[in-house]
Amino acid sequence: MQMAEREIKISLLGHKDHGKSTLIGRLLYETHSITEDRINEARAMSKTLGKEFEYAFLLDSFEEEREGGFTLDTTRAQVHHNGVIYELIDVPGHKELVKNMLTGASLAHAAILIVSAQKDERLRDETKLHLYLASLLGIKNLVVAINKIDTIDYDEEEFSRIKGEVSVILKSFGYEELSFVPVSAKKGDNVASLSGATPWYKGKTVMGFMEEFSAFDYEKELEQLPARMFVQDVYDLDDEKILVGRLETGTLAVGEEVSIEPLGIAHGIDELKIKYESVKEARVGQNVGLMLAAEGMANVKRGNVCMPSKNKARPVKSINARIFCLPGNEIKIGDDLSITCVSQETRSKISKVIKKINPIFDKEPKENADEIRGWEAAEVQIDLKDPLVFEKFSKVPPMGRFVLSKSIIVAVGVVI
């Protein structure tokens, strides 16, 4: 039997034009993850456009991709290398990054931060913002690619200077001792093989770091947590209901008693189905159907959470959280906000700003504020109109990650 290939998701972070798509294209090319035909097609396309060949042309864009009810303007590409599938997710801006984070399924296991070494590009506010969001969302595995190293003549001193500037920001977001790779995505230096142009560099290639990230068992971490499943859909049978959703953490087994919150009802699982087939047990990441006796289940709906009765979280009406207000928005105490955590949703308001800071520009947090502006982060108390199930982000990540919206998303946050 052929072993299923392991898959790991890596986000590419960084300001537009710093070379994210070029790096992905180069990785696809060097690992032979795309066909010769696709390469020829991209060559022909560059010719027709009268342009130089761009590795970015090797990427297919999936602009209308929908996941979890959101349209994602991201580009994905799969790099196959030594039995591992690396799904690379190119997030063009912070809006897409936020949308991407909303759908637990597409959250990255690891990230590559790209900073262009070109003199007029370097460290930008958008780069810092991406980094802050990655730290807020607990992405621990991160490597920094200082790209376009060819534009500074592969100069070690200049590389060290950029590394120093980026390190200050990284430290302020809690990232210590990260690795930096001097890269030219365009010319292929240190992408999949070490470059002769940077003999002073003694570290790994970008691919080498990706392999290091893949050694980590991300699924196992989530599997060891108590089972949590958000109901996405409910179907009626004669005297049974099928609750369909994705198992965000843990495992569920036939016969186990589950509680459905915030309704506070409990039922034994009669049958578990994955793609129409009955199974004894469902694992983290699988889309499952739970078949339960219909009695007492009239009010079960999308957004409810199924948990083992012996290890469940209770619904709450207030949470303490760390939030980040997205650029161009503002939130005042008492503003009517919708709060969404996967498929759970209710109205809410911030009742207290404990302290706030602009992680990109400030050094000292401000206390007793009554509004949070774009680019600002804050520790707040949020009151919910109806009780929802939340847990600390550090304990059960999918249950502690949410977004706040007015007519559009205004902030992302985690429960502390």
119 binds ligand GDP (CB under 6 A): no
Using CB under 6 A, pick the residue from 94, 128, 148, 163 that binds ligand GDP.
148
Size of the site for ligand GDP (CB under 6 A): 16
221 binds ligand GDP (CB under 6 A): no
Residues 6+ apart with CB under 8 A from 283: 223, 247, 251
Considering only the stretches 16-24, 152-160, 281-289, 302-310, report the one whose residues sit in contact with ligand GDP under the rule CB under 6 A: 16-24
Shortest reach from residue 13's CB to ligand GDP, in Å: 10
Considering only the stretches 167-175, 178-186, 298-306, 319-327, report the one whose residues sit in contact with ligand GDP under the rule CB under 6 A: 178-186
Contact 216, 205 (CB under 8 A): no
151 binds ligand GDP (CB under 6 A): yes
Using CB under 6 A, pick the residue from 8, 10, 13, 21 that binds ligand GDP.
21
Strands 84-90 and 6-13 turn out to be parallel
Considering only the stretches 20-28, 39-47, 251-259, 385-393, report the one whose residues sit in contact with ligand GDP under the rule CB under 6 A: 20-28
Shortest reach from residue 236's CB to ligand GDP, in Å: 47
Is the N-terminal amide bond of 226 cis, ω within 30° of 0? no
Residue window 325-344: x/- pattern of binding to ligand GDP, with contact defined by CB under 6 A: --------------------
Three-state secondary structure call for residue 112: strand
186 binds ligand GDP (CB under 6 A): yes
Is the N-terminal amide bond of 262 cis, ω within 30° of 0? yes
Q: Determine how many CB atoms are found less than 10 A away from the CB of residue 340.
A: 20
Contact 218, 140 (CB under 8 A): no
Cβ distance to ligand GDP smaller for residue 54 or 65:
54
Shortest reach from residue 121's CB to ligand GDP, in Å: 9
Cβ distance to ligand GDP smaller for residue 63 or 177:
63
Which backbone phi and psi does 314 adopt, to 5 degrees? -95, 150
Considering only the stretches 11-19, 316-324, 326-334, 381-389, report the one whose residues sit in contact with ligand GDP under the rule CB under 6 A: 11-19
Cβ distance to ligand GDP smaller for residue 100 or 304:
100
Place of tokens 């947590």: 225
Using CB under 6 A, pick the residue from 9, 19, 360, 375 that binds ligand GDP.
19
Using CB under 6 A, pick the residue from 30, 126, 150, 379 that binds ligand GDP.
150
Cβ distance to ligand GDP smaller for residue 23 or 288:
23
Number of H helices, E strands in the chain: 7, 27
Q: Which two tokens stand for residue 86?
A: 């690396």
Using CB under 6 A, pick the residue from 58, 101, 152, 185 that binds ligand GDP.
185
Strands 110-116 and 240-249 turn out to be unpaired
Considering only the stretches 14-22, 103-111, 163-171, 265-273, report the one whose residues sit in contact with ligand GDP under the rule CB under 6 A: 14-22
Using CB under 6 A, pick the residue from 54, 211, 219, 371 that binds ligand GDP.
54
Q: Which two tokens stand for residue 413?
A: 């946050």
Contact 127, 15 (CB under 8 A): yes
147 binds ligand GDP (CB under 6 A): yes
Cβ distance to ligand GDP smaller for residue 205 or 358:
205
Q: Which two tokens stand for residue 351?
A: 């009742």
Shortest reach from residue 326's CB to ligand GDP, in Å: 20
Using CB under 6 A, pick the residue from 9, 18, 94, 109 that binds ligand GDP.
18
Dihedral angle of Cα 243, 245, 249, 251, to the nearest 10 degrees: 50
Cβ distance to ligand GDP smaller for residue 21 or 344:
21
Using CB under 6 A, pick the residue from 5, 16, 32, 233 that binds ligand GDP.
16
Distance CA 257, CA 268 (A): 4
Shortest reach from residue 43's CB to ligand GDP, in Å: 15
Residues 6+ apart with CB under 8 A from 81: 31, 33, 207, 210, 211
Nearest to 175 by CA among 124, 134, 218, 219: 134
Contact 86, 210 (CB under 8 A): yes
Using CB under 6 A, pick the residue from 100, 141, 184, 259 that binds ligand GDP.
184
Strands 141-147 and 179-182 turn out to be parallel
Which backbone phi and psi does 170 adopt, to 5 degrees? -55, -45
Distance CA 164, CA 65 (A): 38
Using CB under 6 A, pick the residue from 5, 17, 295, 362 that binds ligand GDP.
17
Q: Which two tokens stand for residue 50?
A: 């009268």
* Contacting residues toward ligand GDP, per CB under 6 A: 16-22, 54, 56, 147-148, 150-151, 184-186
